[in-house]
C-alpha cells in the first residue's frame, strides 16, 4: 500500500564564520586602459554563481554593463584574500568588499574627470556606460579610457576591506549574537511511502527563502534546486554504510545520490526583505537552502505512516523495519 503525507521544516541561519572568528574579505577595483573595470578577489567559484553575482555588484556601482567587468579570482599571486567559499558568506562578505572598492574607484574617476573637464565641482556629474558627463550639458564628457590614459603608466586601483559582524557567545550562558545577518526559510514536501517496501518518493515540494535582495533571481532558483537535492540525498539516499570503521559504500556505484530523475518539481518562492548591511540588500543563501529539507521529509514520512524516524538516511530497510514494529505494537 502506498500512503501520502506532508511535512514542513524551517530554518534561521547565520551568515559567515560567526562566534567571534575573524570574517574578513578584501577586494581591488582597477580601471583598465581600455576603460573596463577589473575586480580582483580571492573568492572561489564552486558552482554557486560567485563570478556572476560579484560582477553584477561591481557593474551596478560603476554603472557599466556586466561584460565591461573583468572578474579575476582564484589566483592567489595577484588577488587579495577574500576568505573561503564557505558559511554562505561570499555574496554578503566579498560582495560588500567589492561594492566598497568599486565605490572608491568611482570617486577617484569622478575626481579626475573634474580635472580633465576643467570643472570647479563634481556636482551634476553623471557616470554611465564608461563615460563621465555633465547632466545639464551632456556634450561635456570624458571617457573612462581617456581618464585611464591620464594616469599614464600607473593604473588607477582602489582596495577596500569588509569585516563582518561576529561576536563570541558567552561560554557559560550560551547567549550572544554570533552572526549577522540571519536568513530565514521554510520547506514543505509531499511524500509517498510504499508500506510494503519502505521506499519513499517525493511527489511535490515548495521552498520559500528569504534572500534579502535578489540580485540574480535565476541563480537563486538554481541554488534552491541544488540545496533541495542535497537535503533530499542526505535524508533518503546517502548511506556510507560504515561497518567496524570501514566505509562499505565508498564509490558512486553504491553510494547513491539523487539524480535529475529523482527530483520533484520544486516550487520556489523568493522572499525579498533587503538587508541594510548587505550589498544592495543581498544575503547569502548557499547553505540555508539545504537545512530544512531533511526535517520536512522526515515530518512528511511521519504524517504518512505514523512512525518517527530519528536516523538518516531513511533507507527502505530502516523504514520498513519501523513500520513492521509499529504494526506489531497494535
Q: How far apart are the first and last CA of the chain?
A: 18
Contact indicator for 199, 193 with CB cutoff of 8 Å: yes
Clarify whether 173 is annotated catalytic. no
Q: Give the bridge partners for 11, in sequence order.
A: 185
| Whole-number average pLDDT of the chain | 95
What average pLDDT does range 107-118 have in this prediction? 96
Confidence of residue 185 (pLDDT cuts 50, 70, 90): very high
Residue 330 has pLDDT above 80, yes or no: no
Residue 273 has pLDDT above 80, yes or no: yes
What average pLDDT does range 214-238 have in this prediction? 96
Confidence of residue 328 (pLDDT cuts 50, 70, 90): confident
What average pLDDT does range 43-60 have in this prediction? 93
> Which residue among the candidates 287, 311, 325, 327 is catalytic per the annotation?
287
Residue 94 has pLDDT above 90, yes or no: yes
pLDDT digits (tens, 9 = 90+) for 281-308: 999 999 999 999 999 999 999 999 999 9
Domain annotation for the chain: domains and CATH numbers: 2-14+179-328 (3.30.365.10), 24-163 (3.30.365.10)
CA pair distance 206, 209, nearest whole angstrom: 10
Predicted TM-score (pTM) of the model is: 0.92
Confidence of residue 48 (pLDDT cuts 50, 70, 90): confident
Amino acid at each position: 500500500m502506498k500512503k501520502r503525507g506532508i511535512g514542513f521544516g524551517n530554518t534561521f541561519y547565520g551568515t559567515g564564520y560567526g562566534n567571534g572568528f575573524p570574517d574578513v574579505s578584501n577586494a581591488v577595483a582597477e580601471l583598465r586602459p581600455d576603460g573596463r573595470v577589473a575586480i580582483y578577489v580571492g573568492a572561489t567559484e564552486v558552482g554557486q554563481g560567485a563570478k556572476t553575482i560579484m560582477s553584477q555588484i561591481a557593474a551596478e556601482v560603476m554603472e557599466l554593463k556586466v561584460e565591461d567587468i573583468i572578474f579575476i579570482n582564484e589566483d592567489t599571486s595577484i588577488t587579495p584574500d577574500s576568505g573561503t567559499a564557505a558559511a554562505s558568506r561570499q555574496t554578503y562578505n566579498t560582495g560588500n568588499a567589492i561594492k566598497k572598492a568599486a565605490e572608491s574607484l568611482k570617486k577617484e574617476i569622478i575626481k579626475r574627470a573634474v580635472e580633465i573637464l576643467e570643472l570647479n565641482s563634481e556636482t551634476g556629474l553623471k557616470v554611465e556606460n564608461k563615460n563621465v558627463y555633465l547632466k545639464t550639458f551632456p556634450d561635456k564628457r570624458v571617457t573612462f579610457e581617456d581618464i585611464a590614459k591620464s594616469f599614464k603608466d600607473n593604473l588607477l586601483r582602489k582596495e577596500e576591506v569588509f569585516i563582518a559582524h561576529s561576536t563570541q557567545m558567552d561560554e557559560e550562558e550560551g547567549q550572544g549574537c554570533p552572526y549577522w545577518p540571519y536568513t530565514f526559510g521554510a520547506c514543505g514536501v509531499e511524500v509517498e511511502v510504499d508500506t510494503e517496501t519502505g521506499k519513499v518518493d517525493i511527489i511535490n515540494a515548495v521552498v520559500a527563502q528569504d534572500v534579502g535582495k535578489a540580485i540574480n533571481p535565476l541563480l537563486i532558483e538554481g541554488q534552491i534546486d541544488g540545496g533541495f537535492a542535497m537535503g533530499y540525498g542526505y535524508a533518503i539516499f546517502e548511506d556510507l554504510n560504515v561497518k567496524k570503521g570501514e566505509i562499505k559504500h565508498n564509490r558512486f556505484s553504491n553510494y547513491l545520490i539523487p539524480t535529475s530523475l529523482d527530483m520533484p518539481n520544486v516550487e520556489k518562492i523568493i522572499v525579498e526583505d533587503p538587508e541594510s548591511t548587505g550589498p544592495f540588500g543581498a544575503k547569502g543563501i548557499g547553505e540555508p537552502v539545504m537545512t530544512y529539507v531533511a526535517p520536512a521529509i522526515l515530518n512528511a514520512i511521519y504524517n504518512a505512516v505514523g512512525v518517527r524516524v530519528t536516523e538518516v538516511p531513511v533507507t527502505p530497510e530502516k523504514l520498513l523495519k519501523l513500520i513492521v514494529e509499529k504494526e506489531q505494537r497494535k
